[in-house]
Amino acid sequence: MQTHGDLIEECRRGSRRAQFRLYELYSRAMFNTAYRITGNREEAEDMLQEAFTDCFTKIGSYRSESTFGAWLKTIVINRCISRLRRKEADLVLTDDFSMHETPEEAPQEEALPDASVIARAVEKLPDGYRMVFSLYLLEGYDHTEIAQILGISESTSKTQYSRAKEKLKNILAEMKSYG
């Protein structure tokens, strides 16, 4: 079921009012997606604007097989990935499976940091790690999908995610010790 079918049709006919309404409905969620991938507010804002420009330019190609939000999110993610690639993202390509073998640790009775601390720590991840981490954990893509999106192997996606988690733990530990 298409929630905003009428607005989409108006956009196809070039209605600025309908474009603005779709922007109002989706911009916050799409900004959050862009921000989680880029880790930079200004870049996320740029990606958001470019994604909506692409969206309204290509809206004639939108088919309702998926939701409009999913289609738009794909545009946002692809924009962010392209930007990070242009910046020569530090995406370490490796098939090192040893990173997935984690020793069993005794559970600790430690309070988790609040969401704002975690968000700041995620921002400090290298671009490649942050991209895979965000796509997997925050956007809900599986490693097969991430591999297709980024043009890497599934094992590389898993390795990047594993390394991102380890790096995030280290960043959080540093923040705590300086906190």
Lowest model confidence (mean pLDDT) among 46-60, 92-106, 121-135: 92-106
pLDDT at residue 150, rounded to an integer: 84
pLDDT at residue 92, rounded to an integer: 47
**Is 0.85 topped by the overall pTM?**
no
What is the number of other CB atoms lying within 10 angstroms of the CB of residue 5?
A: 11
Per-residue model confidence as pLDDT tens digits over 20-63: 999 999 999 999 999 988 888 999 999 999 999 999 999 999 98
pLDDT at residue 13, rounded to an integer: 94
Lowest model confidence (mean pLDDT) among 15-19, 100-104, 130-134: 100-104
Question: Within the chain, which residue ranges are assigned CATH 1.10.1740.10?
Answer: 5-86
Question: Within the chain, which residue ranges are assigned CATH 1.10.10.10?
Answer: 97-178
Give the model's confidence band at 112: pLDDT under 50 very low, under 70 low, under 90 confident, else very high: low
Domain 97-178 bears CATH identifier 1.10.10.10: yes
- CA of residue 47 relative to chain centroid, distance: 12
Which tops the pLDDT comparison, 167 or 109? 167
Q: What is the CATH number of domain 5-86?
A: 1.10.1740.10
Q: What proportion of the chain, given as a percentage, has pLDDT over 70?
A: 82
Alpha carbon distance 79, 62 (integer Å): 17
Where would I find the H helices in the chain?
5-12, 16-38, 41-58, 68-86, 115-123, 127-133, 143-150, 154-178
